[in-house]
Homo-oligomer: A and B are copies of this chain.
Amino acid sequence: MSARSQAILTPMTQLDPSTTQPFPQSQKIYVTGSRPDIRVPMRQITLTDANINPAIVVYDPSGVYTDPQVNIDVCQGLPKIRQAWIAERNDTEVLSTVSSDYGQFRRADPQLQALRFRGNHQPRRAKVGHNVTQMHYARRGMITPEMEFIAIRENQRLNEIRDPQLLNQHRGEAFGAAIPKEITPEWVRDEVARGRAIIPANINHPELEPMIIGRHFLVKINANIGNSVTTSSIAEEVEKMVWAIRWGGDTVMDLSTGKNIHETREWILRNSPVPIGTVPIYQALEKVDGRAEELTWEIFRDTLIEQAEQGVDYFTIHAGVRLAYVPLTAKRLIGIVSRGGSIMAKWCLAHHQENFLYTHFTEICEIMKAYDVAFSLGDGLRPGSIADANDAAQFAELETLGELTQIAWQHDVQVMIEGPGHVPMHLIRENMEKQLQVCQEAPFYTLGPLITDISPGYDHIASSIGAAMIGWYGCAMLCYVTPKEHLGLPNKHDVREGIIAYKIAAHAADLAKGHPGAQLRDNAISKARFEFRWEDQFNLGLDPLRAQAFHDETLPKAAAKTAHFCSMCGPQFCAMKITQDVRDYAQQKGIQDLNQAVETGLKEKSAEFNTQGGKIYQPTKINT
């Protein structure tokens, strides 16, 4: 074993404790469904004075990594919680070996022994003539354990909250989205059947804790990881994946382009409780040494099968980059910025032929449905600058994606649609509306969008603005952007920054849409803030550790954590303390009296206004 391999493997057996340590006062709980093997994980945050302040339950994609009860062994991978569900459907078969040429080639290479995942993974495929997608089941009226799992998960035990002050929330503006008060398994099934939501859940990813992407559910976020030629080892990538879900990544895309990506992917999948997405053309390109023109359908097809049998849950496929659209980008300020899009554009031009992903789309569907891989139809022609937003190339491709959605749906293959990119605020809504219309409400999944080009180093902020807005308008999943966008590869710090920015955007979208229970956590944290329950304020936040550390910077003493004043103003001069006085006063006087006083006051004002002839403009009115 080379020193390099050694270096790659050693850290894999142990994740950094900072990656797995539960948040303060947070506890993993499991809500059991109709059968004992449906155990839905959630994170419960215990507050001070638990008898007065009920614990708050939040959505938790972090997997068993944050459950101290579970022994983590990344060499063995996660427990295969879906295995029985998949097996009992009796429509798949375990393969004696992997089907792809490349998979076999990697298996046969003794040099790779040290790199290979050591645990057990036996690939499955649909039996001949079977379709194993969640959409297929849904359309046949079947509620799968995955669907029930999701229904429980989306509700976040909301029905157990009794405090009306916590439940109180604004009505929201959902732009035609019809979000039910409670998510039922039947609703999940129906949404998947209609194509309005997807459950990315490859039958070869039994470790998955099922989740759903659709605009009638909580808005989700995706985090990208991936090594490149220049940096990163397998261990780093696994660590990054666990780190990403710790902070709230709902899905993770592995965009690796370096060497050993086959083995890296295996390690990631076997240890991932969230759906993993990939862009198979990246790996296909590696197989032809980066020469786009040498790509063939056969190489691509083999790559799809290779990855599908590893368990990838969704594939980005740039089938909408049609030959005829490529010249539309030539006049752009910044051309094609999607890697996948540019690869296919180059291929199209080199051969002067139609994109082979487009011409072979039905065959791709056949593969997708044999494993239940969902399409993430790539926006290869997305705008890479404000100038290029909403142009002919972008919308021409979108039309094609709508057309391809219909074809995928004929095969009961799940589809989401990727979207931009760089779009000024006033052009965002057009993107969402057009996508809903053209793609028949298939879930939209956008990268940002960034609402300006001038913020390198802060593009997580520029893009979270666009992400929040498009999430509000109806986008189902937001692909994060880190501060390193346009500049370099994100490290752990950048991943955390990017994810929190996107958790803010996604949550803001839920709030603005009026998603049931979305305001609960806001109400709880604001109540804690008002009552000077500092620790509760930290722990209810999206990043408890950061909040605590920032407070410590100004007032490091432990006593300050229970002090009845803010760290901003000091002990005597605090707005919230004064408000408490106001409230005490109001209580003391009786709020009813005060309400009456207000009414009387307003009446007086109104009377005064009227006697003065109803003019708004009263020059000497208060000159007393």
Q: Mark A349-384, 1 if CB is under 8 A from B, else 0.
A: 100000000110110000000000000000000001
| Number of this chain's copies in the complex | 2
Q: Does A90 contact B (CB under 8 A)?
A: no
Residues of B within 8 A of A343 (CB): 578
Q: A177 interface residue, CB < 8 Å from B?
A: no
How far does the Cβ of A224 sit from chain B's closest Cβ, in whole Å?
Answer: 10
Contacts of A341 in B (CB 8 A): 575
A465 with B462, Cβ < 8 A, contacts A359-B622, A489-B568 known: no
- Nearest-neighbor residue (CB-CB) of A600 within chain B: B324
Cross-interface CB contact of A526 among B339, B384, B457, B519, cutoff 8 Å: B384
Query: Which one of A457, A501, A553 has the greatest number of beta carbons of chain B within 10 Å?
Result: A457
- A499-511 Cβ-contact flags toward B at 8 Å (1 or 0): 0110111011101
Chain B residues near A582 (CB-CB < 8 A): 326, 329-330, 335-336, 342, 345-346, 349
- Tell whether A72 is near chain B: CB-to-CB under 8 Å: no
Q: Determine the chain B residues whose CB is within 8 A of the CB of A407 once the complex forms.
A: 618-619, 621-622
Q: What is the CA–CA distance of A37 and B407 in the complex, to the nearest angstrom?
A: 70
Q: Which of A95-103, A166-174, A238-246, A268-276 contacts B (4 or more CB under 8 A)?
A: A166-174
**A550 contacts B386, C-beta separation under 8 Å:** no
Interface residues of A in 440-479 (CB under 8 A from B): 451-458, 460-462, 464-465, 468-469, 472
* Cβ A507 vs Cβ B573 within 8 A: no
Stretch at the interface among A81-89, A105-113, A541-549: A541-549
Residues of B contacting A586 with CB < 8 Å?
326-327, 330
Alpha-carbon distance between A427 and B231 when the two chains are bound, in angstroms: 45
CB pair B424–A554 under 8 Å, yes or no, is no
Interchain CB contact under 8 A, B526 and A385: yes
CB of B342 within 8 A of CB of A525, answer no
Given contacts A228-B570, A339-B569, A576-B337, contact A426 B172 (CB under 8 A): yes
Given known pairs A407-B622, A554-B489, the reply for A386 and B570 (CB within 8 Å) is: no
The one of B165, B505, B538, B580 in contact with A465, judged by C-beta atoms closer than 8 angstroms, is B505
> Residue of B at shortest CB range from A409?
B617
Chain B nearest CB: distance from A7 CB in Å?
20
Q: For A27, list chain B residues within 8 Å (CB).
A: none
Chain B contacts for A339, CB-based, 8 A: 569, 573-575, 578
Q: Is A410 an interface residue (CB 8 A)?
A: yes
Name the contact of A462 in the complex, choosing from B424, B456, B508, B549 (C-beta under 8 A): B508
What is the bound-complex CA distance between A349 and B410, given in angstroms?
69
Judging by beta carbons under 8 Å apart, are A487 and B342 in contact? no
CB atoms of B424 and A578 under 8 A apart: no
- Residue in B334, B501, B547, B567 whose beta carbon sits within 8 Å of that of A461 in the complex: B501
Alpha-carbon gap, A570 to B258, bound state (A) = 9
| A462 touching B579 in the complex, CB below 8 Å, given contacts A554-B488, A598-B327 | no
Which A residues from 519 to 564 make CB contacts under 8 A with B? Answer: 519, 521-523, 525-527, 529-530, 537-538, 540-543, 546-547, 549-551, 553-555
A166-192 contact mask (Cβ, 8 Å, vs B): 1 or 0 = 001110110000000000000000000
The residue of chain B having its C-beta at the shortest distance from the C-beta of A336 within the complex is B579
Shortest beta-carbon distance, A389 to chain B, in Å?
Answer: 7
Q: Please give me the residue from chain B that is nearest to A388 by CB atom.
A: B526
Assuming A282-B573, A454-B521, what are 15 further A-B pairs, CB within 8 angstroms?
A165-B333, A290-B572, A290-B573, A339-B575, A362-B623, A385-B530, A386-B519, A386-B522, A451-B511, A452-B522, A453-B523, A457-B543, A461-B501, A486-B566, A488-B550
5 cross-chain CB contacts under 8 A: A327-B586, A336-B578, A455-B541, A461-B464, A488-B551
User: Nearest 7 CB-CB pairs, A to B?
Assistant: A488-B554, A324-B601, A327-B594, A335-B579, A385-B526, A342-B578, A229-B570
